[in-house]
Structure 1
């Protein structure tokens, strides 16, 4: 067992509780979800040692078991899910088979690696600021962040509840859609709008080869009849930077509210990068957090208005998975990628990352479809059509 990917692995750890549409499928559960008889480690050994065993499954886990799936094991996460890289100071970095030597992407790092390696069919994780979409992009997977609140979060350990979602990834859209048939069965079937929009103001932070690849794929999808010709929507060039700064402020404030008391009584328990992020939250004033929340609310409202009759099509990440170099490459990539991923998080809208892009050196990257609230399952249908059009499948 690769302990950078798995905390617990069995055959299976938990079997299905009933037959259903997921018969025969296996799941890697991110170490943020309650699994009956187990504890939740949240990517930190000190936290793990202090937890009690759960007497019931998280709601999402229970639903998947009730639809015929089995849980293969509990997979790694970045500490408290507060990263997009997949590098855990205590357990290491799960492998990225799609770009060997590069980071796996996080914070749903373990489940993503398990899916990409073919060890399981489904990775059950969370997405607060891109924690499903980023590893999907870096490892050539399909990842869905659902409409905020669409999947019950009972039994899921939080980071920033205003943005946290239950989310999942798979190797192809059809499997991701089967999960949606279970977890999103209650959603009304809202269609994806026919209009396609892009936001050129976002391109400034994206690697030029990814910008070019995204433009090429969009044009090819238009030629295949999958997308309508893209319409550019002008934003104030300063808006994305202001929005992401406000988003990170709210996220940090809520994260400290969740864990600050524990962190203060456990000095040295966190890796340096994660400790630095929590320190930002500790230093925030209520006035700063309130102002940031107003900015995020305004940005989210604007985005929902844009998406009411359109689908936004953008790169999932600012580049392919970065290679750790001892410098700031990974953090620079995280900051640039947050300019893209925070949009759906701020607006509470669904977003699906599809493996349709390549960096100039061949590393995979995702193309992201962002739709209006409630269009989750239709977005997965769009993703399936896009993959079929690009691969001839």
Structure 2
């Protein structure tokens, strides 16, 4: 049984999950959904895998982000499907089903926060909690036509969240309305904002070159508006190539999620879909490598990009280089799609910088997201810009 009115298969199968919010607050009267990685008191956090659910006890308390939204008056209306143990960028789950993309029903919704995106895009919730390690808020935001942001790494507590790659994991939110998104993030972000005055925007030409032609063309009107709003300059982010950055990001993330799941796999020999099992096997090999060069590279890139932003500039790029893939995409094509996506999503992952995806493009009726990356602590600046752009 799915949650009532779950027209898009967004919620985890089983009895409905509800928690009533406070009587008053900035989110009073609104409903939110939470990815099945966030603890809900008294329930087992399933993480998209039945053997994970069977081998873990019920949560003793709500996750930090869940509690903050409840305290602000929002009501939890359900727990949403995630790619299995959050390892995916397209939104498929062989155990719970793949949510329908309300904006493109024949296409994948994007993952791993697929159910959260489907719930918001389909009007089943006003807001939804997701997570973003390698792109899992930004990708479904782009594929499903939503506002979503990966915050500065560390600015939102992950207490009560099943983390997979601690130096990459972030809590994120989806909304159809940028003003609501700004309000919700204001409730969960810490007080370490670093304000600045946006003096210019840097258009990452190498990121646009990576993108398929329909994506580039769909974003041209938004780019023209952005150039009219702010002084703009074309830049190259990576002299060695963004695919090379993505390789380093994937190795570092693989090593971390291999360490996260290794003991559980040894103890329970759990069931996995082929693509997740293959990913974990490859990650186990990566975990045995000397990743000193990758860690040094991450430090250097983080410093370089932060210096270029300097509290005064933003980077503009496509959120994803591809349109939402068809639901029937074969496994071999899934791997290639994921690899290409991380060529762009890996930038914020490597640097720990905030990135917001704005639903500003359309290609043949399919949503296309435009992204802005800011300096560390520029989360509020990005949210305000999104709201003002839409006004």
TM range (shorter): over 0.9
Q: Does 1:315 align with 2:335?
A: no
Provide the C-alpha distance between the structure 2 equivalents of 1:278 and 1:363, rounded to a whole number of angstroms: 32
> TM-score normalised to the size of structure 1?
0.92
Residue 191 of structure 1: how far off its partner (Å): 3.2
Unaligned 5+ segments in structure 2 are: none
The corresponding residue for 2:265 is 263
CA contact (8 A) 1:247 1:293 kept: no
> Residues 38 and 126 from structure 1, CA distance in 2 versus in 1: closer, same or farther, beyond 3 angstroms?
same
The equivalent position to 1:145 in structure 2, one of 144, 150, 161, is: 150
Provide the C-alpha distance between the structure 2 equivalents of 1:221 and 1:46, rounded to a whole number of angstroms: 47
The corresponding residue for 2:387 is 384
> Residues 36 and 268 from structure 1, CA distance in 2 versus in 1: closer, same or farther, beyond 3 angstroms?
closer
The corresponding residue for 1:333 is 337
Give the match's secondary structure for 2:148.
Answer: strand
Q: Summarize deviations over 1:315-365 as a string: whole Å, max 9, x none.
A: 101122111332533332221111111111211111111100112x22101
Residue 232 of structure 1: how far off its partner (Å): 1.5
The corresponding residue for 2:166 is 161
CA contact (8 A) 1:197 1:230 kept: yes
Residue 88 of structure 1: how far off its partner (Å): 0.7
Q: Does 1:365 align with 2:362?
A: no
Q: Does 1:96 align with 2:65?
A: no
Q: Summarize deviations over 1:202-252 as a string: whole Å, max 9, x none.
A: 2332111212332331112333x3xx1321123444331221101000100
The corresponding residue for 1:246 is 248
> TM-score normalised to the size of structure 2?
0.93
The equivalent position to 1:207 in structure 2, one of 204, 209, 212, is: 212
> Residues 331 and 204 from structure 1, CA distance in 2 versus in 1: closer, same or farther, beyond 3 angstroms?
farther
CA contact (8 A) 2:13 2:96 kept: no
> Residues 303 and 368 from structure 1, CA distance in 2 versus in 1: closer, same or farther, beyond 3 angstroms?
same
> Residues 288 and 212 from structure 1, CA distance in 2 versus in 1: closer, same or farther, beyond 3 angstroms?
farther
The corresponding residue for 1:26 is 31
Provide the C-alpha distance between the structure 2 equivalents of 1:125 and 1:192, rounded to a whole number of angstroms: 29
Provide the C-alpha distance between the structure 2 equivalents of 1:12 and 1:236, rounded to a whole number of angstroms: 45
Give the match's secondary structure for 1:7.
Answer: coil
The equivalent position to 1:72 in structure 2, one of 58, 71, 77, is: 77
Residue 275 of structure 1: how far off its partner (Å): 1.1
Unaligned 5+ segments in structure 1 are: 389-393
